[in-house]
Amino acid sequence: MVKAGMTNKNVGVDIPDRRGRTGLDRTGLDLTGNPRVKVRDVKLLSCHWYVERTTTFDFQHADGTWSTQERETHDRGNGATVLLYDTARETVLLTRQFRYPVYVNGHADGMLVETPGGLLDEEDEHPEVAVRREVVEETGHTIGDIQHVFDVYMSPGSVTERISFFAAPYSPSTRTHEGGGLDEEGEDIELVELPFRRALEMIRSGEIADAKTIMLLQWAALEGPFRA
């Protein structure tokens, strides 16, 4: 609840936002890892669910001169995703769901084919824990052995998110739940099982246009379970 005499400008600063966070205007002020960067000011623009900030900092160029710059960042937390594969049947298990941001930016129907995954529930949640949970929720499969592939910043010009990529085997016997996503989060997720070679063809045709999915499929062909 916002106290009398205080405005919504204080939410996320000294009043907890909907996720119980405060001090969101302090992020970045204590950074010391790069002596060529001095953060001067952080303004909180929004913290409805994700966090938008404008940060002003001084940057030292290669020739020794300094300039003052301003950047907006979109902080949605970090995430994890996994490629589910079956080498015996030479298949992969993907998902299809509606993504409004791609729909409004030129995708024909917004129904994106993707590897399962999602955001970490808390900042200190381990990515492997998060991705195992997401696989059960989205696909209904409970995975066993899992391989960490790499960690990637997906859009470093403005988005802070770091995604941890994994790969894990699946089979008909690992299906333990219904899957399909969570009703309370408005999810309506369809399972898409494909021959691996067909999935690669869908990259070329544009039927698969999700970056994380393309990266994991190409990893699987070059270094992973389907390498020559």
Q: Residue ranges per domain, the chain?
A: 8-75, 79-222
Q: Which helix (H) or strand (E) holds 192?
A: strand 190-195
pLDDT single digits (tens) 147-199: 999 999 999 999 999 999 999 999 999 999 988 877 777 778 999 999 999 99
pLDDT single digits (tens) 47-102: 988 999 999 999 999 999 999 999 999 999 999 999 999 999 999 999 999 999 99
Structural class in CATH, domain 79-222: alpha beta
- Within 8 A by CB and 6+ apart from 159, the residues are 73, 74, 75, 76, 153
| 167 CB burial (10 A radius; 0-12, 13-18, 19+) | buried
